Amino acid sequence: MSADSLLLALVLLLFAALIVRRQRTLARPVRLALLGHLGLWAVWPLTYVLLDATAREESVAQPHFPLVVVAHVACLLAVVAGVILLPARAVDWVGRTSVGTRPLTDRTVRLWLALAVTVVIPLRIWQFQTVGGDFLSLISANVGTEKSELGAVTAITAVAVVGTSFAMAVVASDNQMSLRGATRWWGYATLVVLAMQQVIFGTRAFLLTPVLGGILLLAPRWQRLSRTRKLTSVALGAMLLAIAAPVALVLGAARGVQGAEREAATEAAALLGELTPAEQAQLTVRAAYVKFDALGTGASLIARDGTEFAGWQPITSALLAPIPRLLLPNKPVPTSFNGEQSGIPYVRAALDYGDIDLGMVVPVSASAVMLWELGYGGLPLFVFVNVLTLRFADAMLRSRSVLLGGFGIVLLAFPTFEYVVQPVAGIIRDGLRIGLYFLLATGALLFARRDRVEAGNADSSASTAMPAD
């Protein structure tokens, strides 16, 4: 693929990003998520390939790289166009449901934030102790779990994701959710705590969460801030990023190592101390490219198996996602073509990059995954489902309920933005789980409303029955 073709693709993506940035009708988190996905998973890897001769030679050497780039860019442009053109009224009914029309009080929100921390942290401590209380074993176990052991890990991760998403929704809440500024800061503190427990479990991307949360927290009032506070906020954000870069490198070295190889993390930390700032920056940039290069891995996946390899199995397996593994022990791993962890595309593609038995996984372009599953015929379905999903997330975040907004945040895949635009199987898996949470939340709110109505009727009857003075 020529440099001119890559440059054209890059220009089209930048134009799409500019259009998204100007769409004030979309909720701010939706705009940020779309911009993040376009930037991290398309603009950045293409820019690096254009500027780095070694990366360009490695990419051009893959015969399916041009196919993946064209499908990736074309589908992203189609998704952006669809999100903008689809009328909001097609999905606005979500905000008019029982959950969407009932804003939570500040006291209730703070109680739920505290509950999220008090539930997630003990569960994580228990998980940490289960693998032996060793940090590197924890990371390796977290990314290399077998299907028979997935039940507890999946449940804990789901609780952590829901708690983190709810805190992010509190931070991003607009005026219609009627939350005070102090409650939003409470949500930001909770968000940082929950994000750090994700980092401890080896998820490097959550190092970005405090920065993204700060952007969503300050954006509505940015124009009203003094110049000093603006400069302070920018300085703090830059400081967090500067701290996050070397930590991410060390976590990357630690992921998947076992036995005698555990010294790799210590060696990586020592190596960083010996490098000059310029060398550390160069290493960080290269690591960021490897982290977000879903195009090269997608080409590797197609080269290994071809198109239309997985068929409908990943999608049908995702239909069982909401059923707890405790009730269905032999449930196939969602989005897997063979029902096992090794059949997930992100693990399958990793066969060319490392040992999957040690937990090696790589990101893969969602368009490449659809080609791997259903071939060219799956791309229109892929675009349609993603447009609908993003519109649903937007409707949830524009509702009056911060609880519903939390469900919308889950769909936006903060903070990696990797799954903002994702394969149909992943959307079905997440959508069904969110639907289950939605039904449970609706039932709880309706039950609470009935109790209040009955209590009010009882009070009325009692006052009516009392004799007049």
Output the pLDDT for position 449: 56
Higher-pLDDT residue of 168 and 233 is 168
Highest mean pLDDT among 6-20, 55-69, 283-297: 6-20
HEC string for the chain: CCHHHHHHHHHHHHHHHHHHHCCCCCCHHHHHHHHHHHHHHHHHHHHHHHHCHHHHHHHHCCCCHHHHHHHHHHHHHHHHHHHHHCCHHHCHHHHHCCCCCCCCCHHHHHHHHHHHHHHHHHHHHHHHHHCCCCHHHHHHHHHCCCHHHHHHHHHHHHHHHHHHHHHHHHHHCCHHHCCCHHHHHHHHHHHHHHHHHHHHCCCHHHHHHHHHHHHHHHHHHHHHCCHHHHHHHHHHHHHHHHHHHHHHHHHHHHCCCCHHHHHHHHHHHHHHHHCCHHHHHHHHHHHHHHHHCHHHHHHHHHHHHCCCCCCCHHHHHHCCCCCCCCCCCCCCCCCCCCCCHHHCHHHHHHHHCCCHHHCCCCCCCHHHHHHHHHHHHHHHHHHHHHHHHHHHHHHHHCCCCHHHHHHHHHHCCCCCCCCCCCCHHHHHHHHHHHHHHHHHHHHHHHHHHHHHHHHHHHHHHHHHHCCCC
* pLDDT(145) > 70: no
Output the pLDDT for position 464: 47
| Per-residue confidence band for 82, with pLDDT thresholds at 50, 70 and 90 | very high
* pLDDT(79) > 70: yes
Report the share of the chain in percent with pLDDT over 70: 74
> Which whole number is the average pLDDT over 66-75?
93
| Per-residue confidence band for 166, with pLDDT thresholds at 50, 70 and 90 | confident
Mean pLDDT of the chain: 78
Output the pLDDT for position 73: 94
pLDDT tens digits, 176-205: 667 788 888 888 888 888 888 777 766 666
Q: Where are the domains of the chain?
A: 3-444
* pLDDT(256) > 60: no
Output the pLDDT for position 462: 46
